[in-house]
């Protein structure tokens, strides 16, 4: 891809930051909250932010297509693709819990080029570019150095199809609660991945995520020195795969073993 990646990243950051102003403005009184599944919510903010981002991002890379949570017609990646989650953590947002963010990534086929995760309600803005490192609020990020599960703070999440996956979720949770320092479930996979990149979490695992949940966070973790794979079975993580494990790298094999590899 013969483009100025730093320039693209700067313009993408501006677009995501502008979208974050809408998230911040709507937070006190979310509008148009409705269900798109049994426990899966969408708000007017999701729709408005997605539409705004598509307009702004189309001006940055006119030849890219879109894979966006609220309007995705397909999930495959071919050529340049903007991957958008307008409000990751919509349930948090709708309930007034500020662990929510906007996630945008640009991929060239299966390869990530850049990613931005804006969390205006937490005053955090994360970004990464391929070969340019991972950053938050101007500070370069690096994963933790924790090497043993007993010292690890681990994040996870639960899919909306929780009834269908309850046995697997509880089996993994039982192991993790017994073998790690602690488990956290804040409710935004995009931010969980950012927090692994920043060294606040040492590992993250989850089932049933979509490409838009993780696209930006994957690049942040690898640029910060971490490792991302699948588990059960282990192997390279492909966007949209059923299971994802992201760690600081030093913990990875131990986490794979705990998760049944």
Contacts of 163-172 with CB under 8 Å at 24 or more apart are 165/207, 165/208, 168/207, 169/207, 172/205, 172/259, 172/260
Q: At what angle do helices 5-26 and 44-60 cross, to 10 degrees?
A: 160
User: pLDDT class for 39, splitting at 50, 70, 90?
Assistant: very low
Residue positions in the annotated binding site?
69, 85, 88, 213
- pLDDT given at position 77: 74
Percent share of the chain, pLDDT over 70: 92
Residue positions in the annotated binding site for Mg(2+)?
69, 85, 88, 213
- pLDDT given at position 69: 74
- pLDDT given at position 104: 98
Q: What is the DSSP string of 56-80?
A: HHHHHSTT-EEEETTT-S-----SE
Query: Which of 9-23, 71-85, 133-147, 151-165 bottoms out in mean pLDDT, i.e. has the lowest?
Result: 71-85
Across 186-204, average pLDDT: 98
* Res. 138: pLDDT tops 50: yes
User: pLDDT class for 233, splitting at 50, 70, 90?
Assistant: confident
Nearest in space to 216 (alpha carbons), one of 64, 85, 92, 28? 85
User: pLDDT class for 3, splitting at 50, 70, 90?
Assistant: low
Interatomic CA distance for residues 229 and 233, integer angstroms? 9
Domains and CATH numbers, the chain: 5-140 (3.30.540.10), 149-258 (3.40.190.80)
């Amino acid at each position: 891809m013969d483009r100025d990646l730093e320039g693209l990243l700067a313009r993408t950051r501006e677009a995501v930051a502008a979208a974050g102003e809408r998230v911040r403005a709507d937070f006190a009184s979310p509008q148009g909250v409705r269900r798109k599944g049994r426990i899966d919510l969408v708000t007017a903010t999701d729709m408005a932010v997605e539409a705004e981002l598509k307009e702004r991002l189309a001006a940055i890379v006119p030849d890219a297509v879109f894979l966006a949570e609220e309007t995705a017609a397909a999930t495959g990646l071919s050529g340049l693709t903007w991957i958008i989650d307008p409000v990751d953590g919509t349930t948090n947002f709708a309930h007034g819990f500020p662990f929510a963010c906007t996630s945008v990534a640009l991929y060239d086929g299966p390869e990530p080029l850049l990613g931005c995760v804006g969390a205006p309600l937490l005053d955090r803005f994360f970004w990464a570019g391929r070969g340019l490192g991972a950053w938050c609020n101007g500070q370069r990020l690096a994963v933790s150095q924790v090497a043993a599960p007993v010292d690890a703070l681990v994040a996870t999440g639960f899919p909306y199809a929780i009834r269908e996956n309850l046995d697997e979720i509880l089996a993994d949770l039982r192991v993790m609660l017994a073998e790690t320092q602690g488990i956290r479930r804040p409710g935004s996979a995009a931010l969980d991945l950012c927090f692994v990149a920043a060294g606040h979490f040492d590992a993250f695992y989850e089932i049933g995520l979509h490409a838009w949940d993780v696209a930006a966070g994957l690049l942040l973790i690898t640029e910060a020195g971490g490792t991302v794979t699948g588990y059960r079975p282990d192997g390279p993580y492909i966007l949209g795969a059923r299971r994802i494990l992201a760690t600081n790298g030093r913990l990875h094999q131990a986490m794979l073993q705990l998760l049944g590899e």
